[in-house]
Structure 1
Amino acid sequence: MSTKVGTAQRHDSALKHVTGQALYIDDMPEPPGTLHGALVLSTEACGRLKKLDLATAATSPDVVAVLAAGDVPGKNDVAPIGQGEPLFAIDRIDYAGQPLALVVAESLDAARAAAERAVVEIEEEEPILDIATALAKKAYVQAPATLSRGDPDDALRRAPHRLTAAFSVGGQEHFYLEGQIAFALPGEDGDIVVHSSTQHPTEVQHICARLLGCDFNRITAVVRRLGGGFGGKESNASWVAGAAAVAANHTGRPVKLRLPREIDMIATGKRHGFDYRYTVGFDDDGRVLALDAVLAADAGWSLDLTPGVVARALTHTDNAYWIPHFRAVGYACRTNRQSNTAFRGFGGPQGVVVMEDALDRIAHHLGRDPNDVRALNFYAEGMDETPYGQKVDENHLARCWAEVKTGGALEQRRAEIDAFNAGHPVLKRGLGLFPLKFGISFNLPHMNQAGALVHVYTDGSIRLNHGGTEMGQGLFIKVAQVVAEVFKVDIDRIRPSATSTAEVPNTSPTAASTGSDLNGWAAWEAANTIKQRMMSYAAEHFGVAQNDIEFADGNVRIAKPGSNQVLSFGELAKLCWLGRVSLSATGFYKTPKIHWDPVAMRGRPFFYFSFGAAMAEVAIDTLTGESRVLRADLVQDCGESLNPAIDLGQIEGAFVQGQGWLTCEELWWDAKGRLKTVGPSTYKIPGSRDVPPVFNVKMLSNAPSREATIFHSKAVGEPPLMLATAVWTALKDAIGAATDRRAPVRLDAPATPERVLAAVVKARTAAR
């Protein structure tokens, strides 16, 4: 089997996934004495905590301990950045679902039953439950941020045409298959090993240590695999792990805390919903001259990771388009809802939709084809600097755009759809296109670093450890392919091991699509260090030059005058051990070139850009508002893919998840601020029948990254999610067809049947 980088290799856990043999935290054998936890949550959204009576819960059958704010031995704060986010509420209630206490019992049923017996009294206050109210009250979790270039006010005054519009997009539940879970096992001298379903083991280590008031070295966070994360286990997993660690420390016994789906959804953050207002100025051809936009995010009750989300939304408001005069102001609105957090795309999806809405309206105003207007405004040579000052290098926009139009037979299908619409008064079809430019790197430069640890054993087998977490996305197999490529051995000789803060310290989260970029290079550095040692020893031992030594096909060839000697990789490893050569090495990588001034909002926040394009065809029923995605054609820039099979799965999955965000995944709170969409019966994620029946995915060929990415590959985790914006555009096109395009279309997302129907009615009313 070929294991070369760039070949399709199955996920390292694929067979275990489909046979049920893959072990997740809840599958781990429980040591004798294991306790189980259940949370006590607030049922009110805002107010003063007057009474928390846990006596009845504490005396319930099989209950060992009940822990609240006063039982936290260290600092009762789980904020990932900043401060002021208590693990257990002290005197204030800030959202319905806020943890108040933890019940620990001999069984899960006993813990959950006892948690129901807690007596809670809250003096209610008027909550802030939407962005508009927060803006009116100037309730923010941070000061507004502004990204600007040129003089948008003057440019708007001078523009031949101006349009002002508003719309909104909702949040999104991560709905990972494995819920939030942690298993804390106490050891000697206050040491605790925490098995956590987290994307950020180092943050788990830090939060647990903060809560316990101990050094980081007493906490070991371990992650073998996650059952999905999508950003929801970047910061939220830390407080779940922290609660388990506090209970294990308090009782001296292992403690498992897993949140049932309803509690998980009630207590944890979502994708940030956004409200938008913008004014755009343009010329007679549809060329954008200026944009003045407000992006207001629902941060929820606390800071969490909102600063980064808002910053990334602002830096993606331009999307694929040159805008000479630009201003975007981001508001992080404080509401009495779950503290919203990272979600795949991390603000990028909420940023790119602004210009897509604007360009659709510009095209309608001028009577032009919206896709021609899009192409007219693409970044191009001489117009290639973003509003924050970064050059748009290796611009593949035109290629992606051309290939998706050709592959999707744009002109033919446009004619077919127009003919269908002319003959069908009730059903309408729509076609939407979307181009993408997406920046890859963490917003904070210091997070763009990674470490790895590689051991070569004397039988030629290799153990690989790095700071990235495997959550189903195929990171482990990709990094293993990198190591196999260095040593030229079969992939079966590489054994990836659980991510652990005891093996690779001070890790960055597996997020921002950087998992392969960062950890791949770190593993390459470690493996190459060992390889160079082995080559140096072999050259000395056999009396040849290092360039006479070749690693290939699991063997090592020693080229000597008149004869060649071939050793297996394992034989050379044993020979090096006998020669006292170290066969273990760490590797470290930091992303070059990036820098960022968060106050001036200027710099190079991204190492490179990923590009893509999508075309989607939809159908709507104008009597019910129901919609279907009939076909999707995608072209995604992956550079030189490390593993095309894995990347293909990432593209398909990301698109469908983005489709869910924009069409069916609606979060709903009642008038008291209590989330009511708390499970699959009330919250609709895309199912198998929502996947487009015709689904064509293509990776852009012959497009290796010219930047020093690992084997010239590009990130693929997040960018394809935004390609689903083509579905939203197509829905607006179908709604427009219901009025013969006599009125512009406002379509808030998610575009549920109710919203589609309301948009049809509003467009028809405006057309009359």
Structure 2
Amino acid sequence: MKAQSFTQARQAAPAAHHGHPHESARLHVAGEATYVDDIRELAGTAHAALGLSTQAHARIVAIELDAVRAMPGVIAVFTAADIPGTNDCGPIIHDDPILADGVVHYVGQPLFAVVADSHEHARRAARRAKVSYEPLPAVLDPLQAKAQNSFVLPPMQLVRGEPAARLAAAPRRLRGSWQVGGQEQFYLEGQISYAVPREDGCIHLWCSTQHPTEMQHVVSHALGLAANQVVVEMRRMGGGFGGKESQSALFACVAALAAARLRRPVKLRPDRDDDFMITGKRHDFHYEYEVGFDDEGRILAARIEMVARAGFSADLSGPVATRAICHFDNAYYLADVDIRALCARTNTQSNTAFRGFGGPQGAVAIEYIIDSIARELGRDALDVRKLNFYGGAGRDLTPYGQRVEDNVIHELVAELEADSAYRERRRAITAYNAGSPVLKKGLALTPVKFGISFNVAHYNQAGALVHVYTDGSVLVNHGGTEMGQGLNTKVCQVVAHTLGIALAQVRATAADTSKVANTSATAASTGADLNGKAAEDAARRIRQRLADFVAQRHGIDADAVRFADDHVHAGAVAIPFAECVQQAYQARVQLWSEGFYTTPGLSWDRSTLTGRPFYYFAYGAAVAEVLVDTLTGEWRLLRADLLHDAGNSINPAIDVGQVEGAFIQGMGWLTMEELWWNKDGRLMTHAPSTYKIPAAHDCPAEFHTRLFRNSNHEETILRSKAVGEPPLLLGFAVLFALRDAVTAVGDGRSAPPLRAPATPEAILDAIDAVRAACAHTAAEPQP
């Protein structure tokens, strides 16, 4: 049978709940997809580069820029003094200068911008500046910042019940410390902004950003313009992962400043090394914990302090810490808890959003604690996990006061446990390890419960525009941004489904602040939930107008008019959709509409850290099997089984891709992606040559991924669930499978101090600790 074309496939299949290709898939493959750097440059376009600090913390004594200005092709140099408005790009607290003014706070902080006739000339010139510094004390370690009581925000604390008393009375207790590293977003397309001056002092900005409205705000503030004088347009990003939510602002402001001052187009595209050095990452976390439990492993009380490396400014550390607090429970009922979060001020890059937004850092801590409890009791960690799951009445309230009303974790884990043959494989691995002195296998099954919505209620809104043209084709514009995750595809599917037409008839355009205003960031896994609902609202308004028109013409009730199969059905009459639209146009029926959506039922009290911050929860679970070489610390993921709750999936093909990609990215964070600063505060892992991310050969030979059948009990868009962030937590299974393999070096009951990322060095350190513990136990006198 002849293969269908891309367009034929989109035409034939139902619009929603079907695995359609990504709307730009063929453009990606053909190299025709237009990213910011692919936009044809206007005549007179200049290029900017940034001069960066070489000190972690110092007072700027002098900056000599004559040598920079003398370099070939240089047009102008700008410093903080040249910014006509506010020298700030902080998203919440205004503590983040666009260009350093008087003091530098980390190695890599931008000091000035040089504009030249080419990208190469600008980069070369930026390195010719001579800067004199007066060094100041630098704090490079979060625990050192904690000891000095140096934080970017006040400490946060959530207490429920009587954790101190319950800990004291618990039959068994464990306490300890642990750490998990940060993570570089490593988007394939780096940060980039292209600013063009327009008439009357206006600016048109193309920017690779997850938050066009925020870029509009920071540029207007920096230039002293009104918001209506700045248009931000974003067709697609080559990845974002949170790194382009707030941190694209600096690049947008510099490009816009240069364009406004020079009255010519200016592009700013840092190379990968500079991008690494300037921008923030996922927050690394340090934990101090204590847990009380019974002889079966049921948690009675827990206390944890989480210290996050915020960097030199607040950025989004507040929301990250809040979400970590709200995800410490993961899938487990915790009756009595004391959860604290501290955002340590360090002289390093200001850390920011990263897929999961603090949720993974919170949830991985309770998984580490439960795994340690299981080792202490000599039980399978899965049994201890299941014992502590959220249950029915009396065990369904989160520490922050939200009731878990949609809990499917028991059924989901039971299904995965059976389908993955977990118990049989556990027995086989035990037998294998008993006969293998060097190579050890490990197995783990870990669950996920992840809250969906922005913690800040007013961000949970979206708008959209839908235009129906007289030939029956449809154009949709919404406030979300496409970063490869398939948001535009899903929104188009929603519109096509609502109007009863083929997906091929619907096209999405670039996010544009002059079309849909006051948008929220595409983050917190809300892109499809918010923008899909807004687009559905707009399409429904048009559908109702058409239904009223058809009903009047055919003498039937408007509720009896149906839209399906590219036709409008009025009783026994089926009118082709395009013909109906043409008739409506001639009758002067409005064929375009705006749509708007706000997520219902949300509340949050920042002072008490309580409320209902999430509209619903997404669930999932993963089984990972690993093989570890105990002589080198090298390892391999042999098999992964993933089962994830995407609700009534709008596009199963895209959702499966998101689940698998998130799992691998989560695995990379916890096993191989290591950030390292030297004693001077310079990030040494600042390029692909020094920073390792997962590659194709890191994927397991056996990779089984399925979506859990579960229509969302809340009225989300087509009863689907978000899949952007939650499946990143599925990567936990790999870390705890590695810990399981390391435990096999000893008596099987040791709780190895395996830090994350679990690099070969970290694995060898943990193996040494297990062997030392076993030797110490063997040397103790027997009773």
Q: Would you say same fold, with TM above 0.5? A: yes
Q: Does 1:669 align with 2:677?
A: yes
Offset of residue 86 of structure 1: 0.6
Cα pair 1:68 1:100 within 8 Å, conserved:
yes
Cα pair 2:22 2:486 within 8 Å, conserved:
yes
CA distance, structure 1, for counterparts of residue 251 and residue 762 of structure 2: 36
Equivalences for 1:629-648 in 2 at 5 Å? 629-648=637-656
- Any unmatched runs of 5+ in structure 2? 1-11, 776-783
- Aligned with 1:746 (options 742, 753, 765): 753
Q: 1:411 to 1:698 in 2, by over 3 A?
A: same
Cα pair 2:750 2:770 within 8 Å, conserved:
yes
Q: Report the residue type matching 1:15 in the other structure.
A: R
Q: Does 1:714 align with 2:721?
A: yes
- Aligned with 2:443 (options 406, 431, 444): 431
CA distance, structure 2, for counterparts of residue 323 and residue 153 of structure 1: 14
CA distance, structure 1, for counterparts of residue 71 and residue 422 of structure 2: 67
Cα pair 2:42 2:265 within 8 Å, conserved:
yes
Q: Report the residue type matching 1:417 in the other structure.
A: I
CA distance, structure 2, for counterparts of residue 595 and residue 114 of structure 1: 51
Aligned to 1:407: 419
Cα pair 1:743 1:764 within 8 Å, conserved:
no
CA distance, structure 2, for counterparts of residue 33 and residue 278 of structure 1: 59
Aligned to 1:760: 767
Aligned to 2:8: none
- Any unmatched runs of 5+ in structure 1? none
Cα pair 2:376 2:749 within 8 Å, conserved:
no
Q: Does 1:391 align with 2:399?
A: no
Aligned to 1:608: 616
Aligned to 2:543: 531
Q: How many residues were matched structurally?
A: 763
Q: Report the residue type matching 1:601 in the other structure.
A: L
CA distance, structure 2, for counterparts of residue 148 and residue 742 of structure 1: 32
Aligned to 1:565: 573
Offset of residue 466 of structure 1: 0.1
Aligned to 1:468: 480
Cα pair 1:742 1:767 within 8 Å, conserved:
no
Aligned to 2:667: 659
Aligned to 2:735: 728
- Aligned with 1:320 (options 319, 331, 340): 331
* 3-state secondary structure, aligned to 1:391: coil
Aligned to 2:504: 492
Deviation track 1:283-302 (CA, whole Å, cap 9, x = no partner) reads 11111000010011000110
Q: Does 1:165 align with 2:176?
A: yes
Offset of residue 126 of structure 1: 2.4
Q: Report the residue type matching 1:534 in the other structure.
A: L
CA distance, structure 2, for counterparts of residue 220 and residue 247 of structure 1: 16
CA distance, structure 2, for counterparts of residue 170 and residue 460 of structure 1: 52
Cα pair 1:3 1:9 within 8 Å, conserved:
no
Aligned to 1:101: 112
Aligned to 2:278: 267
Aligned to 2:465: 453
Deviation track 1:460-516 (CA, whole Å, cap 9, x = no partner) reads 111100000000000001000000001111111111000000000000000100000
Cα pair 2:83 2:257 within 8 Å, conserved:
yes
Aligned to 1:81: 92
Cα pair 1:94 1:336 within 8 Å, conserved:
yes
Deviation track 1:329-350 (CA, whole Å, cap 9, x = no partner) reads 0000000000000000000110
* 3-state secondary structure, aligned to 1:723: helix
Cα pair 1:427 1:621 within 8 Å, conserved:
yes
CA distance, structure 2, for counterparts of residue 494 and residue 589 of structure 1: 21
CA distance, structure 1, for counterparts of residue 213 and residue 708 of structure 2: 35
CA distance, structure 1, for counterparts of residue 773 and residue 242 of structure 2: 40
Cα pair 1:193 1:219 within 8 Å, conserved:
yes
Q: Report the residue type matching 1:65 in the other structure.
A: A
* 3-state secondary structure, aligned to 1:156: helix
CA distance, structure 2, for counterparts of residue 537 and residue 743 of structure 1: 73
Equivalences for 1:541-620 in 2 at 5 Å? 541-559=553-571, 564-620=572-628
- Aligned with 1:152 (options 137, 140, 163): 163
RMSD after superposition: 0.8
Deviation track 1:621-665 (CA, whole Å, cap 9, x = no partner) reads 111111111111111011100000000000000000000000000
CA distance, structure 2, for counterparts of residue 482 and residue 742 of structure 1: 51
Cα pair 1:226 1:471 within 8 Å, conserved:
yes
* 3-state secondary structure, aligned to 1:629: strand
Aligned to 2:494: 482
Q: Does 1:214 align with 2:222?
A: no
CA distance, structure 1, for counterparts of residue 15 and residue 198 of structure 2: 42
TM-score (norm 2): 0.97
Deviation track 1:256-279 (CA, whole Å, cap 9, x = no partner) reads 001110000000000000000100
CA distance, structure 2, for counterparts of residue 113 and residue 539 of structure 1: 69
Offset of residue 742 of structure 1: 4.4
Q: Does 1:59 align with 2:67?
A: no
Cα pair 2:191 2:270 within 8 Å, conserved:
yes
The percentage of counterpart residues that share the same residue type is 51
CA distance, structure 2, for counterparts of residue 217 and residue 151 of structure 1: 53
Deviation track 1:355-410 (CA, whole Å, cap 9, x = no partner) reads 11111111122222211111001000020000000001110100111111111101
* 3-state secondary structure, aligned to 1:363: helix
Cα pair 2:247 2:280 within 8 Å, conserved:
yes
Cα pair 2:625 2:734 within 8 Å, conserved:
yes
Q: Report the residue type matching 1:128 in the other structure.
A: V
CA distance, structure 1, for counterparts of residue 196 and residue 627 of structure 2: 53
* 3-state secondary structure, aligned to 2:771: helix
Deviation track 1:554-588 (CA, whole Å, cap 9, x = no partner) reads 111222xxxx3332111111111111111111000
- Aligned with 1:506 (options 514, 518, 522): 518
CA distance, structure 1, for counterparts of residue 719 and residue 700 of structure 2: 31
Aligned to 2:353: 342
Q: Report the residue type matching 1:612 in the other structure.
A: G
- Aligned with 1:519 (options 524, 531, 540): 531
Offset of residue 764 of structure 1: 0.9
Q: Report the residue type matching 2:634 in the other structure.
A: E
Cα pair 2:378 2:749 within 8 Å, conserved:
no
Deviation track 1:582-640 (CA, whole Å, cap 9, x = no partner) reads 11110000000010001101100000001111110011111111111111111101110
Offset of residue 433 of structure 1: 1.2
CA distance, structure 2, for counterparts of residue 742 and residue 570 of structure 1: 69
- Aligned with 1:224 (options 207, 211, 235): 235
Aligned to 2:381: 370
CA distance, structure 2, for counterparts of residue 495 and residue 507 of structure 1: 20
* 3-state secondary structure, aligned to 1:761: helix
Between 12-21 and 539-548, report the one with greater CA deviation.
Answer: 539-548
Deviation track 1:647-691 (CA, whole Å, cap 9, x = no partner) reads 000000000000000000001111100001111110000000001
Cα pair 1:660 1:685 within 8 Å, conserved:
yes
CA distance, structure 2, for counterparts of residue 611 and residue 344 of structure 1: 16
- Which ranges of 4 or more aligned residues in structure 1 deviate by more than 4 Å? none
Cα pair 1:3 1:484 within 8 Å, conserved:
no
CA distance, structure 2, for counterparts of residue 72 and residue 565 of structure 1: 65
Aligned to 1:133: 144
Q: Does 1:28 align with 2:35?
A: no
